[in-house]
Amino acid sequence: MTRRQSIAPAFLLLLIVTAIISIGTGAVSISPREVVESLFGTGPKNHSFIIGEYRLPRVVLAMLAGAGLAVSGAILQGMIRNPLASPDVIGITKGAGLASAIVIFLFPKSPAYLLPLAAFGGAAVVAAILYVYTARKRVQPATLALVGIAIGVICQAGIQYLMVKNPGDVNAALLWMAGSLWGRGWEHVWAVLPWILVFLPIAYSLANRLDVLSLGDEVAEGLGEDVTRLRVVLLVTSVALAGACVAVVGSIGFVGLLSPHIARRLVGGKHALLLPVAALLGATLMVAADGLGRWLLPPMEVPVGIVTAVIGAPYFLYLIGREKRRGI
Amino acid sequence: MQGASKAGIVLAAGMLLLIFGLVVSISVGWTDMGVVSGVKSLFAPSTSQEHLIVTTLRLPRALLAVIIGAGLGVAGAIMQAMTGNPLASPQTFGVNAGASMAVVAALVLLPHLPVPFLAPLAFGGAVMGGFAVYYLGAAGGMTPVKLALAGTAVHLFLASITEAFILFHQHSTDQVLFWLAGSLDGADWTDVNRVLPWSIGGLVAAFFMARSIGIMRMGEDVAKNLGQHVIRVRTICGIIVIVLAGSAVAVAGPIGFIGLMVPHLTRLLLGRESQLYLPITALLGALLLVYADVLARFIAYPYESPVGIVTAFLGAPFFLYLVGKERRAS
């Protein structure tokens, strides 16, 4: 096991520690020891209830969503060959946002399960438009990013239009769009889990081909890769992951942008290692941000998406600055 | 001088269209009065209702559209000339998002701040946003793609901070949201007075710099060889952009894509370089925003919509068109 590979278990440990602390944080503070005892079913009854019904599903959901968004971002960055790409930057999250804004504002009486479905649909529509561009021969991946940005702008204008026309329900929509884990329970975990279980392994199985793609289209084709088809498969995988996560937790930014970056700095650019580490980091980041959001201004909760943005963006600037100095 | 006459025709036609647009702008809306009576009411006795609506609401709004449109157009033209990047504009460069965040932060954190201080604060935010994008995107030469990605990343970050401020101060959410979409609705003479000194200062300075800006468009090396003090020109132009875009945001919110579209339209109309490039860009910017503002009154009639939504719907396809053009050119 090389030094780089030995980092992965270390991050698993970090994730577990973060999760235990996060589970203990909130209106009722629970010590890490009691958290562990409750998880094994030997803790005090009242705490076990709080943990089992409220805190644990939330933390599990944060892990799943963080991992999904991080891997989605890692795939996009590898495919577009630009470290600034991520599901939020290329419009996928905005598509989900527009669809859920339509549900929140135009069909306020619709049942609760419709919102995530609609969000996923919105992400899928944006993906379909992007697909039309990718499937065409010889499209530069950069063009894909620009098309995504333009779609994002249109979706944003649509969201603003709906918000201005329906001032009454604005706060619900804003909260959703900021991305929040508030009030999420086991049913949300079950909703997102299948997607993660299916598409994370698919992403992992594509890791070596992502490496080939990062050498450039000509080299990849020379090595016998059908570049256009590979891109489509990657796009679908990335969108499925991002769409499922965003549908359940709202448009959480910067996890998909930041996690692959940190992972790349720690373990290098080989996707077979990069993808799992990015997933662990994304999960850790999300769990930590959610815990922080609950702890910062009680009794108010800072939506997790805002915490990730406030922490993530300055760090991101710093990272880019370092990479610039090293001349990448 | 075929080029000069072409510019002259564009200028004259633009002026006529602008005057017509202004007349339409003061006449239509929730109280629809028809173009003729709209103009008549300007000169009607000061007690009539039409006169009151036109002089206190519609006229300042129309003028504000002219001022801000001209300012944003010129700001975009300068940015495109300075960076040599066809996608540069106050919107794509994070300047709008930075200024908006500063203004929302001020509204929430310092509710008793006198309104005239908002513009300088917006300048501060604009500088911050612009620098962040430049920092992210400039490594190894700023290609259009890098600029767009860096601009979007910074925009998303600043927008989520802005969102946080709004979420924690829910009492004024509606107004702030409307403003955040970029809007001329509810403008009055104080708004015009607030933005006018900055805009006139910025525009006049830009026209004085027109020659240098034209030379900068040929690239940094050429500009140096022609004896331009590149750093000084860049600094002055940067300040002009910040003042024009920041003051616009302070009054009307972030109205996007005027600065992106208008310089290209000017080049499309004038063809090659022209001495009237900046004035015509200003004119077209004013024109675009005046008509977009008229449109904004009707897309959700009888409710007003923020004009920024209209410009975004026009601007995003234009952005795609530019991307396609770039690709074919390269």
B-chain residues within 8 Å CB-CB of A300? Answer: 168
Q: Is the confidence at residue B141, as pLDDT, over 80?
A: no
Q: pLDDT at position B16, please? A: 93
Q: Is residue A1 part of a domain?
A: no
- pLDDT at residue A328, rounded to an integer: 41
Average pLDDT, chain A: 83
C-alpha torsion sign, points B262, B263, B265, B270 = positive
Task: Give the DSSP letter string of A211-229.
Answer: HHHTT-HHHHHHTT--HHH
CB pairs under 8 A between A and B: 142
pLDDT digits (tens, 9 = 90+) for B232-277: 888 899 999 999 999 999 888 889 889 999 999 998 888 766 778 8
Buried b / exposed e along B225-260 (16+ C-beta atoms within 10 A): eeebeeeebbebbbebbbbbbbbbbbbbbbbbbbbb
Residue bearing tokens 């920024």: B308
Question: Which pLDDT does position A136 carry in this prediction?
Answer: 66
Q: Which residue has 């930590």 as its token pair?
A: A288
* DSSP H or E run through B27: helix B2-27
Beta bridge partners of B300: B303
Q: Is B157 close to A309, i.e. CB distance below 8 A?
A: yes
Q: Answer yes or no: are the C-beta atoms of B88 and B257 closer than 8 Å.
A: no
Q: What is the pLDDT averaged over residues B99-117?
A: 85
| Number of residues that make up chain A | 328
Q: How far is CA B254 from CA A131, B79, B309, in A?
A: 31, 17, 10
Rounded Cα distance, A314 and B132, in Å: 10
Task: Read off the amino acid at residue B78.
Answer: I
Assign A23 a pLDDT band (cuts: 50, 70, 90): confident
User: Which structural domain, as residue segments, surrounds residue B152?
Assistant: 2-329
DSSP string, A144-160: HHHHHHHHHHHHHHHHH
Give the per-residue pLDDT at A324.
61
Closest CB to B300 among A157, A165, A327: A165
SS3 A31: coil
Range of the domain at A240: 7-288+297-325
Residue A194 domain flag: yes
Please provide the size of chain B in residues.
Answer: 330
Task: Match 């249109």 to its residue by tokens.
Answer: A154
**Whether the predicted pLDDT of A3 surpasses 90:** no
User: For A143, which residue in chain B has the nearest alpha carbon?
Assistant: B323
Interface test with A, best of B143, B154, B160 (most A CBs within 10 A): B160
User: What is the CATH classification number for the domain harbouring A281?
Assistant: 1.10.3470.10
Burial class (CB in 10 A: 0-12, 13-18, 19+), A270: middle
Say which amino acid occupies B234.
Answer: R
- Domain count for chain B: 1
* Confidence band, pLDDT 50/70/90 cuts, at residue A68: very high
Q: Do A157 and B160 count as a contact with CB atoms less than 8 A apart?
A: no
The domain total for chain A is 1
Residues in chain A with CB shorter than 8 Å from the CB of B156 are 88-89, 253-254, 309
What does the pLDDT look like over B111-139, one tens digit per residue?
788 878 888 899 999 999 988 888 887 76
CB B214 within 8 A of CB B277: yes
Contact B149, B272 (CB under 8 A): no
**Looking at the partner chain, which of B157, B305, B323 has a beta carbon nearest the beta carbon of A146?**
B323
Quick: pLDDT tens for B287-329. 999 999 999 888 877 777 889 889 988 988 888 888 777 777 7
List the CATH number of the domain containing B102.
Answer: 1.10.3470.10
**Rounded CA gap, B13 and B18, in Å?**
8
Q: What ipTM was reported for this prediction?
A: 0.80
Residue B58 gets which letter from DSSP? I
Residue A4 has φ and ψ, to the nearest 5°, of -65, -40
Question: How far from B212 is each of A23, A51, B279, CA to CA, in Å?
Answer: 61, 66, 15
Of the pLDDT bands very low, low, confident and very high (cuts 50, 70, 90), residue B72 is: very high
CB B257 within 8 A of CB B311: yes
